[in-house]
Amino acid sequence: MQFIRTGEHVFHVLADDVRLGARAGTAVVDQTRLRVSLPAAGLNGGRKVVAYAEVWGRDETGVESPVAWVGGMALAKERKNGADVELMLDARWLARAGATGPYELRNVRLQDPNYFVTLAESAAVPLAINSLPTAARAAAAEITDEMRMGLRPAAATSSADFTTQAVGGKLLLIHGYCSGGNPFPTSQFTDYAVFHDPNQSRSHDQFANLILNFGSQFPSFGAVAHSQGGAASLHLYTYYWSGFDYATGNRLIQSVGTPYQGTALAGNLAAIASVFGSGCGSNYDLTYSGAASWLAGIPSWARAKVYYSTTSFTDVWYRYDYCSLATDTFLSDPEDGVTERAYGQLPGANNRGHKTGWCHTASMRDPAQTSDSARNADMNANAAR
């Protein structure tokens, strides 16, 4: 007898009306940076996109040579018949590669920031560089954070940026998808602030910007995050300047139960409602395919700042074990009722281990993973602030 298994899948379709220009231009910004302007017809000015491209040149023998990868979150700048997407290229990458022209961008793509659906792409776009910053002619430098991440803005005193309204940095306790509130026992943490956005389904980008706005009242912060809060924190650190970039301490982002590679529940309305309730609905960034698209843009230097843990239910021989009976059939063991151990991994990050006897939320068979006092003490002691 044959069985055909069916399931629910969530995916987003966006209008196919953005076209990349035939040539990208540049302008010198300062001694180290070039502004790359990529024309995009059909893109409205002010629209936020995620842009990626490889920069290629020629080595001293004239052979095509890779220089650097550029990318990030960008607001399209309106121009006649479309918009320009602007990215920064640190000229020290040119010096390090010993590259000369002609230059081009390869594997160029623009993506929507909420669903990471590709809006436009091109295999190659010629890159016109008429003049170079001084750093392009200097001796090849060691790779620095500034080369990877860009020029860090100076800490400001305006509420529009980083502030000094609070004395000292804080540890942000960040909940996850559709949470009713903070899941961490506050008595187990010090110098903390509680992020609160209850009963909501947000994309990673929307979630990250809420953390950014909340954290702007502090001069610096680190994060202890649950579930989607870990992915949103990593997204914030990757794509935006925030208090993360001014924190000091051993571990910048710590998470537990985060489905970095997705969960089967996110695209199944019945399964996710059994855990979180029917009010929040599905979440594309937490599906397997959505998480893979998002994770593809997270660089190694950002992943290295994450310390993560996973858990699963207590498994004994004399009974059928699970965290949530309603979700057990959708997930592969070991799992915590929402996040499977295999899909809670973040390659390139710091794996703090897997513990049994702990489930995703307080409503499940074993205690909530966020109530583990030993883990919480360790996270509090090592947290950046």
DSSP of 154-219: PP-SSTTS---SSSS-EEEEE--TT-SS--S-GGG-SSEEE---TT----HHHHHHHHHHHHTTSS
Domain limit, last residue, from 89, 107, 134: 134
Q: Kindly state the percentage of the chain with pLDDT values over 90.
A: 75
In a domain, 11, yes or no: no
How many structural domains compose the chain?
2
In a domain, 365, yes or no: yes
Do 74 and 128 fall within a single domain? yes
Do 200 and 299 fall within a single domain? yes
In a domain, 184, yes or no: yes
The end-to-end CA distance of the chain, in Å, is 59
Which residues in 211-240 are b (16+ Cβ under 10 Å) and which e? Answer: bbebbbbbbbbbbbbbbbbbbbbbbbbbbb
pLDDT in tens, 367-382: 999 999 999 999 999 9
Do 203 and 266 fall within a single domain? yes
Other CB atoms closer than 10 Å to residue 163's CB: what's the count?
A: 17
CB of 293 closer than 8 Å to CB of 118: no
Lowest-pLDDT range, 4-13, 168-177, 216-225? 4-13
CB of 211 closer than 8 Å to CB of 170: no
Average pLDDT over residues 64-84: 92
pLDDT in tens, 183-194: 999 999 999 999
Q: How many angstroms separate the CA atoms of 363 and 365, rounded?
A: 7
Q: What is the pLDDT of residue 38?
A: 95
Q: How many angstroms separate the CA atoms of 296 and 262, rounded?
A: 13
Do 302 and 180 fall within a single domain? yes
Do 202 and 287 fall within a single domain? yes
In a domain, 66, yes or no: yes
Average pLDDT over residues 165-185: 89
Domain limit, last residue, from 90, 119, 134: 134
Average pLDDT taken over every residue of the chain = 90
Rg (alpha carbons) of the chain, rounded to whole number: 23
Q: How confident is the model at residue 142 (pLDDT cuts 50, 70, 90)?
A: confident
Q: How many angstroms separate the CA atoms of 245 and 250, rounded?
A: 13
- The CATH number assigned to the domain holding 59 equals 2.60.40
Show the domain range for 41: 19-134
Do 199 and 324 fall within a single domain? yes
Residue with tokens 């899941």, as numbered in its chain: 183
Instruction: Check whether the bond before 299 is cis (ω within 30° of 0).
Output: no
